[in-house]
Structure 1
């Protein structure tokens, strides 16, 4: 049985996976160089092409994990595939076989999965990377004040709009009739609000953090607190044929994903430094990246039944705001679109 090689005690691989989705059992587990696992796996490392969005701060643990050899210690040859900044390009990368697995927002995954897209979700990464921000000029200081206002986001139907439609609906505001949604270019969401063309901004980190800081916007909600307390934000999925042929490799990918996010939770400054040095994100300082990466709920990476429960909760939310079909059964749907790598 594979055991943890550092930390306060020894954990079997299965014991780690059973606990990692709910508590940060390994957050203080020592340096990357020592590792959390010593997989006793014979044979060559299978290759996994993992789609990511390199400009997204919340994806930085994936690149960090490759650079620091975390995946290779799980006997995996992980090649990162830049799939662009859109959830639709992630779907296309998997559908066309350009990638075997990928990391994406739940808000991007669920509608294509409802429509029959051949992908299974298998492990969460973290919670929280979207913000709803109000300009000071708008006078909005709480969710009740959003009624009658205009919200800028980078696309109608994009994850920030969908996420905060749920927030508003649960606050008693009709997200279709009580507010106006305005699509603006991705890089101009903050500028448009600052110029008074909209009252609020709904955006993704690190850009949301950046415009909140730059313009002194007021954060009304995010996807870590309030109705999203305890929710998973980003999830890894694998296309069906790859899963069928490489289930054990995906289980090890899930283990590595948990390990790298636990490490990130304990050492956000180190991951931020790697991100800053390697990717040189425009307009973001090292301190910005430390704040964004350190602010993620990096312990929230469910697998097995906890992941099914998370997807069911998200499906219920998306039905509430009419993204998923009214006939969709959230429980049956969650069980159908996930795979339990602990089984």
Structure 2
């Protein structure tokens, strides 16, 4: 999504907020957080094991935050735990006690939480990081043109598949019967479109960005605009026992999470340099990483009542595509699976 640039080529905070329509949400989160959180206290820093997906572009602020001392500033000893590349492995990391807190897509959290998984969501991180990309040979240039086409993704319930099923449903299409979904290996989603085995790719960044450029694909939807305007994509959740024993530490973790995402939103070049040096993502240059990270909606990090509202919206979307049970009340569910650290 094109963004206006501030001096020095960086994406400005004001531009991001205007572009996504979440200025009020982000501002309220920051103001409320500053009112409620206390400064770092003396004494041993509490240990927090934070599960993340290290190669996911949208998780890079977490690693950057640890490396640059954002969490230590709030008297926290954060240890990153690589949980794998799926929502299932995130849930396993928390369920088996390998991590205390995890960062994940809302769409990955909600079904396990509906089934009683003992985790509470407590702060958002950013807006969307998924793309729906069509080959030029397919002739598809918008969502209406997707009808009758084949879409490649990497799992039968991959987050991009679920996300864009919502997009299709809200455009009046049947997300199961009006299109054909094709499961291919994670690294071959773009190749499937190139070979003509599929017309469209549904993928996550940075891989979605890479195949868009590599195969000259046309972006017809993403999870930042359209039906996802102003929606939060990823949130942090804490397992129940850790929350009960460490609520103050979680308040400070939430504050640090907000601060690091605000910082990298205004300094995507610094984040990209750290990402390139520390994680060495294959096939991506510093300029490309800066472009990817600079396009993210990194000021969209609701906490308290705004987070409940975001979970309610996503719950309604997941009911629409039959991921959540028909009997689930989105508002009551959102209130049950979140914790208000501002209370």
Distance 1:196 1:331 in 2: 43
Quote the residue 1:160 is aligned against: 160
Match of 1:93 in 2: 93
Number of equivalences = 315
SS of 1:121's equivalent in the other structure is strand
Q: What is the TM-score with the length of structure 2 in the denominator?
A: 0.90
How far, CA to CA, are the matches of 1:291 and 1:81 in structure 2? 27
Query: Post-superposition shift, 1:128?
Result: 1.1
Deviation per residue, 1:115-150 (Å, 9 max, x gap): 000000000000010000000011101111100000
Task: Give the C-alpha shift of residue 180 in structure 1.
Answer: 0.5
CA contact (8 A) 1:24 1:299 kept: no
Q: Name the SS of the counterpart of 1:123 in structure 2.
A: strand
Say whether 1:43 aligns with 2:43.
yes
1:111 matched residue in structure 2: 111
Inter-partner Cα distance in structure 1 for 2:136 and 2:89: 35
Deviations 1:80-119 (A, max 9, x none): 0000111100000000000000100011000000000000
Shift of 1:42: 2.6
1:21, 1:303 within 8 Å by CA — same for their partners in 2?
A: no
Moved over 6 A (4+): none
User: Which residue does the alignment assign to 1:251?
Assistant: 251
Quote the Cα distance in structure 1 between the aligned partners of 2:42 and 2:308: 31
Show the counterpart of 1:30.
none
How far does the alpha carbon of each residue in 1:224-262 deviate from its partner, in whole angstroms, 9 at most, with x for none?
000000000000000000000000000100000000000
**Aligned partners of 1:86 and 1:223: how far apart in 2?**
18
Mapped to 2, the partners of 1:324 and 1:123 lie a distance apart of 22
Counterpart residue number, 2:183: 183
Q: Does 1:298 align with 2:298?
A: yes
**Closer, same or farther: CA 273–232 of 1 in aligned 2, 3 Å:** same
Q: 1:135 to 1:40 in 2, by over 3 A?
A: closer
Residue 27 of structure 2: aligned partner: 23
Aligned to 1:144: 144
**Counterpart residue number, 2:15:** none
**Separation in structure 1 between the aligned mates of residue 27 and residue 191 of structure 2, nearest angstrom:** 39
Query: Separation in 2 of the partners of 1:20 and 1:94?
Result: 32
Asked if the contact 1:149–1:179 (Cα under 8 Å) also holds between the matched residues in 2, the reply is yes
Question: Counterpart in 2 of 1:131?
Answer: 131
Shift of 1:288: 1.5
Instruction: Identify if the C-alpha distance between structure 1 residues 58 and 227 changes in structure 2 by more than 3 Å, giving closer, same or farther.
Output: same
Partner of 1:213: 213
- 1:283 and 2:283 aligned: yes
For the 8 Å contact 2:29–2:302, the answer to whether it is kept is: no
Q: Is the 8 A contact 1:24 1:262 kept in 2?
A: no
Q: Tell me which residue corresponds to 2:225.
A: 225
Could you list the runs of 5+ residues in structure 2 that have no partner in the other structure? Answer: 1-22, 31-36
Q: Following TM superposition, by how much is the alpha carbon of 1:285 offset from its aligned partner in structure 2, in angstroms?
A: 1.3
Q: What is the CA-CA distance between 1:305 and the residue it aligns to?
A: 0.1
